[in-house]
Structure 1
Amino acid sequence: MAAVKNRGLGRGLSALLADTPTPEVMRQASQVPISKIKPNSYQPRTRFSHDELDSLTESIRREGVLMPILLRPHGDGYELIAGERRWRASQAAGLKEIPAVVRDVGDLQALELAIIENEQRDDLTAIESARAYRRMMDEFGCTQQQVAEKVGVSRVQVSNLIRLLQLSPVIKEMIETRELSMGQARPLVGLSSHVAESLARLCISKGWSARQMEHEAKRAAKEPVAKAKQEPDADVVALQDELTRKLGLPVEIVCRKNGSGELRIAYTRPVELDGVLRKLRKN
């Protein structure tokens, strides 16, 4: 990847997240026992490609770890901040030690660095980014604007991503597996789960663009929601049946909440009403 955006980290930390180590980074690095390192508790990435790890493992077997990982002190060992793929692949390659730079950073900055490292490599899904931004807000009291400034994106981007967390688990899984992009999923926010999931499946099967999805979602939002049909009272049904038998025409009784109602008799020809009158007069 090309040069890393500074994102307010300072030259030293930005250099530690680059793809190629600078001489300064290499001077700061030392060999750290892999057994002393624990995973990053603030790692926003939840899925790691087995194929990518296998490829990196083979590369490390041939050439070693070219870029030091970033750690912070933790208990009698260290916690990862950046470089989890290199750490995992090094274990798979059978290494006992790994080059690392140790920095004493707090929890919030550890989360920021983990987000930035993954996002600059396009490793995070939209849902992983959204959860990480939400964690910055919930655990560290950041506003959306502060999150945006810390990770180097716009406030609108933060807001749009966090809104995706309102979607159903089914749709979030589609985003996690990259079947749906953020642009395709965003118009589904606010729709019922049933409608949103149906549109999401259609989007995947028909290859809709984000613009097409937005059009379909707007159209679905305008459609009236069918109200659940209320089950009629058993006594009312019995009375309707009795009147239908006695009058010889379909009868419907409409009951209102205030106690009033209507008695409806359906007929197809005026002569049928004469038959109703005769039966009523007879009784």
Structure 2
Amino acid sequence: MKDDPKGERSLQRQKLEALGQFAGGIAHDFNNILSIIEGHTHIALRQLREGALEPGQLEKILTSTQRGAGLTRQLLSFGRQKIGVEEKTNLAEAMRQQHILLLPLLGETVQLFMTVPEDPVWINASPDQLTQVILNLALNARDAMPSGGELAIMCMACQKRHIPAALREKNPAASYIRLSVVDSGLGIPADILPRIFEPFFTTKDQGKGTGLGLSVVYGTVDQLNGMIEVSSVAGEGTSFDIFLPVAEAPPQALPAGKTPSGAGLAGKTILIAEDEPELREMLT
């Protein structure tokens, strides 16, 4: 075999360009979050000096820090397969919470419609995993509607005949729910559609997106033993359909009078190991 220095240099250049695009997108996203936190902190401090602090300012700061933490979790889950202790989450309740979070993020030009089951829908997933899926798809839909539009997020039971064949073969006895995220945006061109779940792939301008959002959604759904399908029509919009296996309801809460095992730790000394001074001070 012959050395191919030109080919190696070309590959290295492509890697550096991808890394630069990735770093620029991350920097842009974090800068937006920090700018929001800084702005609302200044407003809160001014209100505090005037003796008229509005709780809403602190809530906006908290929401923005949660967005920053979510972005960090995206990076961590992208970099490795995250398999933790099995956790069950009520998807219906998670959707209600997301409704509150999404309204300010979508803006005034995007109308949000949610169809949420009245009864609990239990999924073998953490609240954070469901948040990543819903939030990333919703923000992707928002960006596809620069002039505004409609976004519908729906959860419904899935009949056997509508379950993808691959899932039926994998687990014939399982019941599934379908989580659909549908927008009235620009649509995804047919030549781009096969690539949308690729890491770092983005059609946004440099510095305006990481290209990680949809790849994180795909990876998370796969971890949850589900499947995602997408259909799109240019000029009409895009639909993401996620199929997730339904879990059994978790055990009921502890009966009255019972205390969790951790209650016996009262009065004990706990060692906190944290290398960030401000975090250590806050925790103590």
- Regarding TM over 0.5, the answer is no
TM-score, normalised to structure 2, is 0.21
Q: Report which structure shows greater RCO (CA 8 Å, sep ≥6).
A: 2
Query: Which one has a larger percent strand, Structure 1 or Structure 2?
Result: 2
Larger Rg: 1
TM-score, normalised to structure 1, is 0.21
Query: Which one has a larger percent helix, Structure 1 or Structure 2?
Result: 1
